[in-house]
Structure 1
Amino acid sequence: MDKLISQLDLQAHIEQFQSFFAREDNLYIEGDQELHYRYIKALDKIEFNAPPKVNDFFALKNHLNKHGVLTFEQIFEIVKVVRYFRYFKNKNLECLIGEWVSKIEVPEKFLEVEKYFDTQGHFEENLDETLFGLSQRIKEHKNEISSSLKHLMGSSKLAGYLVDTQIHFINNEECLLVRGGFNHVLKGAVVGRSTGGFFYVAPDSILKSKEKIRYIEQERQAIFYNYAKEFSKTLEELLPFINFVDKEFSKFDNYQARVLFARSKDLAIIKSKNHKNIILKDFIHPALHQAKPINVNFEKNILMITGVNAGGKTMLLKSILASAFMAKYIIPMKVNEHKSDIGNFKDIESIIDDPQNVKNDISTFAGRMQQFSQIFLKKQALLGVDEIELGTDSDEAAALFKVILDDLINRGQKVVITTHHKRLAALMADRDDVELLAAIYDEDQRRPTYEFMQGIIGKSYAFETASRYGIAHRLVDEAKKVYGDNSEKLSLLIERGSELERELKQKHKKVDEKLEELEKKEKALKDQREALFKELELEKTKLKDSYKEAINEAKRAARGGDIKDIHRAMNKANKKLPKEEKAEIKRDYDFKVGDEVKYHSQSGVIVSMKGKSDATIDVNGMKVRVKTKHLTPTKIVKAKPKTDVRLSVEKKAGLKCDLHGMRADEACEVLDKFINDALINGWDEVLVYHGIGTGKLSHAVKEFLKVHPKVKKFEDAPAHMGGFGAKVVTL
């Protein structure tokens, strides 16, 4: 991997990226890459502080497994990780990250260890009374030493020997800097010499205090060691928890490093997808500064890059391979993440450098052949080859590399190559799975544009490049003559083809801009239509609710016993129905007996007419008199001969039918008409009064309702609506 990173000029980019890790880790995140990407994108939506730098847990976990004693520094590494997770947990995030950190529960035993460390990792000595007392004693002895030294410096006997009036700290000892002969007035040990030949002397008067401090420090260290043993024993019991937070922190560290690195450089976080295409939009290689963005559509098996020397062909090849590498490892890059689409490759290989090795007696071409032999061992790899013709005769190489490329395609490899082989390009150009790309040369400015055009073979512009880099014009002109007229004509044809392609590119650009504008307008119209549709659906829902409420009011009115209550309830229901103005439909035809018509949602036939405004229709065996303005003709036939039979029904069906005082046959006829009218008017529940009396009328009504095809069920009415003397009929 390091070699590939170096070949693709990604070292600086990767080093900057790795500096954002809290601790050193691999570029690849083990596990489900799609899940990792979801966590990274979720974390990218949150503002958070970077984690502290943390050492690896490998050594400390080994110590705990072997019942060893950890140092306070090692213990504090675990504390830092736990405290950072607690910081995130306290943010109370309602997202994927919040769900994740909320599952990290810190055991109570660990809290007993954690409380002994401050934010800098120092041991909280004030929590232990003995340690606190020892610290105070050390401070007292140090004050005694300081006072003693100041007293000596103020001594008149020693004043003539003092070089300065400072306390020097040499070899962990407080010293005075004195001249030779000091031993007559100062007893002490020489601990060093200055560059001026003076002596650093530790006075005997402070040695007793220093010795006491050493004894106290030993006592303190013994207490610290006991604490370390106690903490290590507790952490040994919590080893599963430590393993868990270690693993979770490694994942989080990978996530946060990518997010914070992308934010610092304004980069995009993009993941490779499960296909073999590479579509780049506005990609900039991290090694380039103020570079032109690269746009490439590499969906075929081979991408062949030709064109002007020093025109960016090699950097384009490196950019394609680098984008695939960074997407594979979810490393942030400069690219349009919404319009780019990068596939996933098991292996990414590059043949870029000159493999010539004098020590091993390997020529450039021989080294290239060794490199290609290794490529044949891989499957479904992304391969980049720079200057494929390097090191051998161009004509022979064209035939050889054509066969090699054919075989690589059959093995499922995806190959990017740069070449000046016009013959090789011509041999491969007729294949459907080969994409041509040419570096463009600006004839007016006489320099490369560092832009590329698809579908053509580019000219090398060797003569122009030589002139640009200082070769004398007379030598270039002579070389052109040697090159020959026919070859020059071929180059001109290639150049003309490039010009035509550039013109076509400009036209395509304008068309794309217009198309993009039309797409925006189309999207705006779609959004407007969706908004209107939602508004319409909302109004429909309101109408349905109003209709349902009105029906319920009508049903409640039907169950009422008082006529006035019924009318009041019906009026209330009618008010709740939405008002609709109906335009009067003018009929320019006359209805006749025998015409097939439609009345509301029912179909029927006209059986008789009364003038031109009233008609009696037969609807499924029911005779109904209606206004002709409410009829719609469906099929007009010749009128049948008139008969003397006359039928009439009430204009509007009621919700109640009173059969009191009628004979059985008369009551059944009235009841039949009542039910037919109720069905036409859309009622699904009516009330029939028959009384109790001798029971004959009640029996006749029951028998009639039992056999009527439109009656679903019937039952005795509630007491307040007639009780046994009435029936509630469901239609």
Structure 2
Amino acid sequence: MQEKVMHVLEFDKVKEQLIKHTSSSLGKEKVKALIPLNEFEAVLVAQEQTDEAATVLRLKGNIPLGGLVDVRQTVKRAKIGGMLSATELIEVAGTLYAARNMKRFIEKMVDEGVDLKHLPELSNKMVICQELERSISQCIDDNGHILDSASETLKGIRQQLRTTEARVRDKLESMIRSSSATKMLSDAIITIRNDRFVLPVKQEYRASYGGIVHDQSSSGATLFIEPQVIVELNNTLQQAKVREKVEIDRILTLLSGEVAEHSDEILQNVYCLTEMDFMFTKAKYAKQIKGIRPSVNQEGRVRLYKARHPLLPSNEVVPNDIELGTDFTTIVITGPNTGGKTVALKTLGLCTLMAQAGLQIPALEESEMAVFKAVYADIGDEQSIEQSLSTFSSHMVNIVDILDKVDANSLVLFDELGAGTDPQEGAALAISILDEVYNRGARVVATTHYPELKAYGYNRPGVINASVEFDIATLSPTYKLLIGVPGRSNAFEISKRLGLQERVIKTARAQMSDERNEVDSMIASLETSKKSAEQEMREAENIRKEAEKLHKELQQQIIALNNERDALFEKAEQEAAKKVEDAQKEAEKIIQELRKMRKEQHAQVKEHELIEARKRLEEAVPVFNKSKKQAANEANTKQSFLPGDEVKVISFDQKGHLIEKINDNEWQVQIGIMKMKVKEKDLQYIKRPQQPVQDKPLATVKGKDYHVSLELDLRGERYDNALMKTEKYLDDAVLAGYPRVSIIHGKGTGALRTGVRELLKNHRSVKQTRFGEASEGGNGVTIVELK
């Protein structure tokens, strides 16, 4: 990507915001070097890394990256035999601590079942050097001071230092407290000069103390004297300090050698922690701008839903939908200044750069971005006094450079194309430039004032007009982008609202050509129709969502009711069966007693009479009807299911056809126009088609049964009637089970084609669409894949 383009689109300002979220100087360095990638696989990996870090932040809220310092030069110096300072060693220990902490954190998340890929890969590369970390922390405290416990020698030396220093202070304190001190000393304090303890003595009493003069005051009235009685003690103190420094250097040298031994592991840890810091920096920024991970493609297809410019305040910026690269590859945005054309242009360009840099974008879910090999932009006033270039000349120099490089894998953004020269020539030049870039296959968005370009979008396939909405009532732009509607100046309406006399406005209108007035009227009508359609679409969407909600609730209630009913039936059967069983036991008991009586009392009860009595008791046992589920289960054990079988869904008491088996326990069932998952135990086999067509999918057999054609011809139909026919045909095709159908709308003016494709885009049963191949009818036919 060109540095100039990144500056024009303000990608450098995005990086400034990113830097605020880094945890170390290493992360800042990584952000400063960030540039958009142009390889699809690399962009995909970068987006995966950001999304993975965002998942961790969402689950844990924060990460333990504290202690990370850039110790690369420090470690390299140790590697070649250099002695590190105590501060540098503490920084190394802090980095080792950060690696250990981060590795443990990621391993714990993996153990918890969080689906991570890139973070565990980095974590596995890190090496824990806990012995080195412990050695440093045992010798040096957090402030970089060597501890007494670093060695027994150092401990002894410091003990001697403290004892000697105490003796020196005691002697000097006694001298300060003497009766003559007040007269001979400038101040009753002990001070230090040249790292030796001294007293501030007045000039005239120099001889009274003897010893060595180390310094004097600026006026010369005070001398800083080391009294003769403490010279020897100060010498002992200095010798101990020299031994202390030698011992400290020895300890630092040993620790530096340990760092050198682990230099490769430490540098590897630094690299991994830097990558992690960068990943979480991007994730934190995504959270700030409420960004989402866009899906990316290599086909030059862009779909932005409610996209916002990331550098504008979220409570002020107006989100816009921007689509490019499907039905059209060029957008021409017309309209007056200060309407938001340039912001829309920059939003697309900046979101593209951000997505290719692995950053999430401020838009709604399901937004899609293309990966371009290059992004070119000609935006803003680039007048150059030094080069004696006018605004027009500066733009043309830039455009010439773009035309030298642009190809089918490019995104080109033109702001005020052709401006700064004669309007007629500028418009002609703008059209020619757009044609050149369009013919090379690039994706193009251009803004312009020229009314001649409003017709450009109607005369060329693959090109569409757009504008920014303007509210006449408030005389202000709404900054909402309207795809498919060319802009108008609104000069007459604004002038009228501001109080310009009606006769002046009428005179001005008379100067306009009839053709221009008709175009403005058409644009106004389009704007009104688009607003009305959007409002109706929102209302329809709300109704659809409410209907889906009610449908789900009703399904759940029906299932719950049927389950409760079956449970009650089964409970009643069990209770009745128990009562009968009890009655049988009681009857058997009675018969046993009768036999006993016959034997004991020679009663005249015959055996065949007992048998008949028992038979009557058995016949008295009630026979229960099996529940629907039991009956279905018994039927299902006798008959295995196959796709195409007609079945009954017991819970809903509805008939349908089996489409496919989802798993061992579930089938997808078509009931009318509705498809749903149903448990196999909730299905009752009815029948199987008598003569299934061999080697053809089920959808073909059902399509024949329903007598639905594989194509719908709308040529010659009125617009509204054609849309109604299309809607009904789609429902019939879904009912017939067709996977793909063709809709013939012709080429003509393009109005019918646009309306049909708009309907298909929003239809619940349409999976995707494309124009027909040359052999299929080209742009006059739309091939529809159904869900």
Aligned mates of 1:37, 1:89 — CA distance in 2? 18
Q: Answer yes or no: is 1:225 the counterpart of 2:249.
A: yes
Query: Which residue of 1 is the match for residue 321 of structure 2?
Result: 296
Q: Answer yes or no: is 1:48 the counterpart of 2:74.
A: no
Normalising by the residue count of structure 2, what TM-score does the alignment of the two structures yield? 0.58
- What amino acid is the match of 1:309? N
**Helix, strand or coil: the match of 2:465?**
strand
Q: Structure 1 residue 408: deviation in Å?
A: 1.8
Query: Which residue of 1 is the match for residue 154 of structure 2?
Result: 131
Query: Which residue of 2 is the match for residue 313 of structure 1?
Result: 341
- What amino acid is the match of 2:273? F
Aligned mates of 1:465, 1:260 — CA distance in 2? 45
Aligned mates of 1:578, 1:79 — CA distance in 2? 80
Query: Which residue of 2 is the match for residue 33 of structure 1?
Result: 46
Q: Structure 1 residue 164: deviation in Å?
A: 7.1
Aligned mates of 1:491, 1:192 — CA distance in 2? 94
Q: Structure 1 residue 308: deviation in Å?
A: 2.6
**Helix, strand or coil: the match of 1:399?**
helix
Question: Once structures 1 and 2 are overlaid, which stretch shifts more, 206-215 or 512-521?
Answer: 206-215
Query: Which residue of 2 is the match for residue 241 of structure 1?
Result: 265
**Helix, strand or coil: the match of 1:78?**
helix
Q: Structure 1 residue 421: deviation in Å?
A: 1.4
Q: Structure 1 residue 357: deviation in Å?
A: 1.9
Kindly indicate whether the alpha-carbon contact (under 8 Å) linking 2:383 and 2:394 is maintained by their aligned counterparts in 1: yes
Query: Which residue of 2 is the match for residue 407 of structure 1?
Result: 436
**Helix, strand or coil: the match of 1:232?**
helix
Kindly indicate whether the alpha-carbon contact (under 8 Å) linking 2:64 and 2:98 is maintained by their aligned counterparts in 1: no
Aligned mates of 1:423, 1:246 — CA distance in 2? 59
Kindly indicate whether the alpha-carbon contact (under 8 Å) linking 1:29 and 1:251 is maintained by their aligned counterparts in 2: no
Q: Answer yes or no: is 1:19 the counterpart of 2:20.
A: yes
- What amino acid is the match of 1:246? V
Query: Which residue of 1 is the match for residue 367 of structure 2?
Result: 340
**Helix, strand or coil: the match of 1:387?**
coil
**Helix, strand or coil: the match of 1:444?**
coil
Kindly indicate whether the alpha-carbon contact (under 8 Å) linking 2:126 and 2:265 is maintained by their aligned counterparts in 1: no
Aligned mates of 1:535, 1:136 — CA distance in 2? 87
Could you report, residue by residue, the CA deviation over 1:121-150 in whole angstroms, capped at 9, with x for unpaired residues?
A: 554441322223333444455556666776
Question: Once structures 1 and 2 are overlaid, which stretch shifts more, 5-14 or 388-397?
Answer: 5-14
Query: Which residue of 1 is the match for residue 547 of structure 2?
Result: 521
Q: Structure 1 residue 339: deviation in Å?
A: 4.0
- What amino acid is the match of 1:454? I
Aligned mates of 1:74, 1:464 — CA distance in 2? 71
Q: Structure 1 residue 438: deviation in Å?
A: 1.2
**Among 580, 587, 590, which residue is 2:626 paired with?**
580
Kindly indicate whether the alpha-carbon contact (under 8 Å) linking 1:189 and 1:202 is maintained by their aligned counterparts in 2: yes
Q: Structure 1 residue 406: deviation in Å?
A: 2.2
- CA change 1:158–1:260 in 2 (3 A) is farther
Q: Structure 1 residue 321: deviation in Å?
A: 1.3
**Helix, strand or coil: the match of 1:309?**
coil
Aligned mates of 1:38, 1:261 — CA distance in 2? 12
Q: Answer yes or no: is 1:391 the counterpart of 2:420.
A: yes
- CA change 1:404–1:184 in 2 (3 A) is farther
- CA change 1:431–1:200 in 2 (3 A) is farther
Query: Which residue of 2 is the match for residue 328 of structure 1?
Result: 356
Q: Structure 1 residue 252: deviation in Å?
A: 0.7
**Among 375, 378, 393, which residue is 1:366 paired with?**
393
- CA change 1:38–1:440 in 2 (3 A) is closer
**Helix, strand or coil: the match of 1:273?**
strand
- CA change 1:511–1:482 in 2 (3 A) is closer
Q: Structure 1 residue 395: deviation in Å?
A: 1.7
Kindly indicate whether the alpha-carbon contact (under 8 Å) linking 2:355 and 2:369 is maintained by their aligned counterparts in 1: yes
**Helix, strand or coil: the match of 2:405?**
coil
**Helix, strand or coil: the match of 2:382?**
coil
- CA change 1:474–1:507 in 2 (3 A) is closer
Gaps in structure 1 of 5+ consecutive residues: 544-576, 584-599, 602-631, 633-731
- What amino acid is the match of 1:7? V
Kindly indicate whether the alpha-carbon contact (under 8 Å) linking 2:50 and 2:360 is maintained by their aligned counterparts in 1: no
Kindly indicate whether the alpha-carbon contact (under 8 Å) linking 1:422 and 1:457 is maintained by their aligned counterparts in 2: no
Could you report, residue by residue, the CA deviation over 1:14-54 in whole angstroms, capped at 9, with x for unpaired residues?
A: 22311322122133599632542453244233233452364
Could you report, residue by residue, the CA deviation over 1:408-446 in whole angstroms, capped at 9, with x for unpaired residues?
A: 233332222221112133224433322322122221212
Kindly indicate whether the alpha-carbon contact (under 8 Å) linking 2:320 and 2:480 is maintained by their aligned counterparts in 1: no
Could you report, residue by residue, the CA deviation over 1:279-331 in whole angstroms, capped at 9, with x for unpaired residues?
A: 33333323322313322222232222222321222222222211112222233
Kindly indicate whether the alpha-carbon contact (under 8 Å) linking 1:175 and 1:200 is maintained by their aligned counterparts in 2: no
Aligned mates of 1:582, 1:451 — CA distance in 2? 58
Aligned mates of 1:81, 1:112 — CA distance in 2? 13
- CA change 1:254–1:310 in 2 (3 A) is same
- CA change 1:67–1:445 in 2 (3 A) is same
Aligned mates of 2:356, 2:305 — CA distance in 1? 17
Kindly indicate whether the alpha-carbon contact (under 8 Å) linking 1:463 and 1:476 is maintained by their aligned counterparts in 2: no
**Helix, strand or coil: the match of 1:509?**
helix
Q: Structure 1 residue 69: deviation in Å?
A: 3.8
**Helix, strand or coil: the match of 2:270?**
helix
- CA change 1:520–1:185 in 2 (3 A) is farther
Aligned mates of 1:466, 1:61 — CA distance in 2? 72
Q: Which structure shows the higher helix fraction?
A: 2
Query: Which residue of 1 is the match for residue 226 of structure 2?
Result: 204
Q: How many residues align?
A: 543
Query: Which residue of 2 is the match for residue 437 of structure 1?
Result: 466
Query: Which residue of 1 is the match for residue 305 of structure 2?
Result: 281
Aligned mates of 2:475, 2:70 — CA distance in 1? 56
Aligned mates of 1:478, 1:160 — CA distance in 2? 103
- What amino acid is the match of 2:15? I
1:83-98 matches, within 5 Å, as 83-91=97-105, 92-93=108-109, 94=111, 95=114, 96=116, 97=119
Query: Which residue of 1 is the match for residue 675 of structure 2?
Result: none
Q: Structure 1 residue 480: deviation in Å?
A: 9.7
Aligned mates of 1:333, 1:179 — CA distance in 2? 75
Query: Which residue of 2 is the match for residue 568 of structure 1?
Result: none
1:665-680 matches, within 5 Å, as none
Question: Once structures 1 and 2 are overlaid, which stretch shifts more, 54-63 or 136-145?
Answer: 136-145
**Helix, strand or coil: the match of 2:444?**
strand
Q: Which of the two has higher C-alpha Rg?
A: 1
Q: Structure 1 residue 398: deviation in Å?
A: 1.9
**Helix, strand or coil: the match of 2:358?**
coil
Q: Structure 1 residue 486: deviation in Å?
A: 0.6
- What amino acid is the match of 2:306? D
Normalising by the residue count of structure 1, what TM-score does the alignment of the two structures yield? 0.62
Identity %: 21
- CA change 1:368–1:528 in 2 (3 A) is same
- CA change 1:463–1:146 in 2 (3 A) is farther
1:604-683 matches, within 5 Å, as none
Q: Structure 1 residue 254: deviation in Å?
A: 1.0
Query: Which residue of 2 is the match for residue 352 of structure 1?
Result: 379
Could you report, residue by residue, the CA deviation over 1:505-557 in whole angstroms, capped at 9, with x for unpaired residues?
A: 244234223324414532664687599899999x9xxx9xxxxxxxxxxxxxx
By relative contact order (CA 8 Å, sep 6+), the higher-ranking structure is 2
- CA change 1:483–1:29 in 2 (3 A) is closer
Aligned mates of 2:286, 2:460 — CA distance in 1? 40
Kindly indicate whether the alpha-carbon contact (under 8 Å) linking 1:387 and 1:419 is maintained by their aligned counterparts in 2: yes
- What amino acid is the match of 1:509? Q
1:89-108 matches, within 5 Å, as 89-91=103-105, 92-93=108-109, 94=111, 95=114, 96=116, 97=119, 101=123, 104-107=126-129
- What amino acid is the match of 2:317? K
- CA change 1:203–1:41 in 2 (3 A) is same
- CA change 1:209–1:268 in 2 (3 A) is farther
